[in-house]
Amino acid sequence: GNSVTQMEGPVTLSEEAFLTINCTYTATGYPSLFWYVQYPGEGLQLLLKATKADDKGSNKGFEATYRKETTSFHLEKGSVQVSDSAVYFCALSDGGANSKLTFGKGITLSVRP
């Protein structure tokens, strides 16, 4: 079955530091890949997505590139802000009948001033 593996957390960074959060996946076919973000006390919201190999998703300074050869979708940001503190989830959808999202375990990012 499908699965998503995220690096272990939590991650604590200083403001303006570079961020990388690793995500690898196992899926049949050609899934779409997503990053969702969960701010404290809120539901998840879509951060970015990529629907085919070599696509780059980007939003709010975050980027992730769909790498089919390494089955990865790592999230990066060049300069994090305190307001980026949240839980980040990598997810995939394979377009089956349910087309459900399969989520990774999530990683907590804390950015200190």
Rule CB under 8 A: which residues touch another protein?
4, 31-32, 34, 36, 41-46, 49, 51, 89, 93-95, 97-101, 103-106
Kindly tell me which of 28 and 98 has the beta carbon lying closer to another protein.
98
- We find the least distance from the C-beta atom of residue 113 to another protein, in angstroms, to be 27
Q: What angle do CA 28, 94, 97 make, to 5 degrees?
A: 110
Kindly tell me which of 7 and 101 has the beta carbon lying closer to another protein.
101
8-state DSSP, 111: E
- We find the least distance from the C-beta atom of residue 100 to another protein, in angstroms, to be 5
Could you tell me which residues come within 8 angstroms of residue 10 by beta carbon, excluding any fewer than 6 positions away? 107, 108, 109, 110
Kindly tell me which of 28 and 113 has the beta carbon lying closer to another protein.
28
